């Protein structure tokens, strides 16, 4: 029997496992519109950029392994967007379907509210029905659909923006 999921702040020591999850998502899904795996140096820079900007990076841990992670950051860097953030949640391929993304998303929403954010944005590939439904369950609504803005795996991809007003 597996132990419960623990949500905690990520530390630099977690980055190799975070990197493995992220690279798997890049290589086999359309959840990230990137084609080349990231390096540990890239993930380390990303991590410290988030931390230095005051943004959270959280992990879901189970039995000593990182099974998912989440974060949010600038939606746009212009000053008048400072109360709007875009989030990301990723789960290890062997841990999907266990409710981990639900736990992570709930924590991201709580952290954004507590930080005084006003709106939370999700950019989701239009074919990712599981993520679209998850976000709907949390009250996100579709506010935009960008047709054929990504190209991956030899096909055009549509990007859906969903938004949750936090206060």
At residue 2, the pLDDT reads 72
- Please determine, for residue 141, whether its predicted confidence score (pLDDT) is greater than 90: yes
Cα–Cα separations (whole angstroms), residue 109 to 34, 80, 94, 161: 25, 21, 24, 16
**Fold of the CATH domain 6-117:** Aminopeptidase (3.40.630)
pLDDT of 103 reads: 98
> What is the reported pLDDT for 88?
97
Contact in structure between 135 and 162 (CB atoms under 8 Å): yes
pTM, two decimals, is 0.96
pLDDT digits (tens, 9 = 90+) for 15-35: 999 999 999 999 999 999 999
At residue 167 the predicted structure's pLDDT band, cuts being 50, 70 and 90, is confident
Give the model's pLDDT for residue 10: 98
Task: List strand residue ranges (DSSP E) for the chain, in order.
Answer: 6-9, 57-62, 65-74, 84-91, 119-125, 141-152, 155-165
- Taking residues 97-116, what's their average pLDDT? 97
């Amino acid at each position: 029997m597996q132990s419960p999921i623990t949500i905690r702040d990520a530390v630099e020591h977690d980055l190799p496992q975070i990197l493995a999850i992220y690279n798997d998502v890049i290589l086999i899904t359309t959840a990230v519109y990137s084609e080349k795996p990231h390096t540990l140096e890239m993930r380390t820079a990303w991590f410290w950029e988030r931390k230095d900007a005051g943004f959270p990076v959280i992990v879901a841990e189970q039995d000593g392994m990182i099974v998912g992670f989440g974060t949010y950051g600038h939606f746009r860097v212009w000053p008048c967007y400072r109360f709007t953030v875009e989030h990301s949640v990723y789960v290890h391929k062997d841990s999907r379907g266990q409710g981990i993304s639900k736990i992570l998303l709930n924590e991201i929403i709580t952290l954004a509210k507590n930080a005084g954010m006003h709106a939370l944005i999700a950019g989701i590939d239009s074919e990712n029905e599981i993520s679209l439904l998850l976000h709907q369950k949390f009250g996100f609504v579709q506010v935009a659909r960008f047709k054929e803005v990504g190209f991956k795996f030899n096909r055009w991809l549509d990007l859906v923006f969903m938004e949750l007003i936090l206060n």
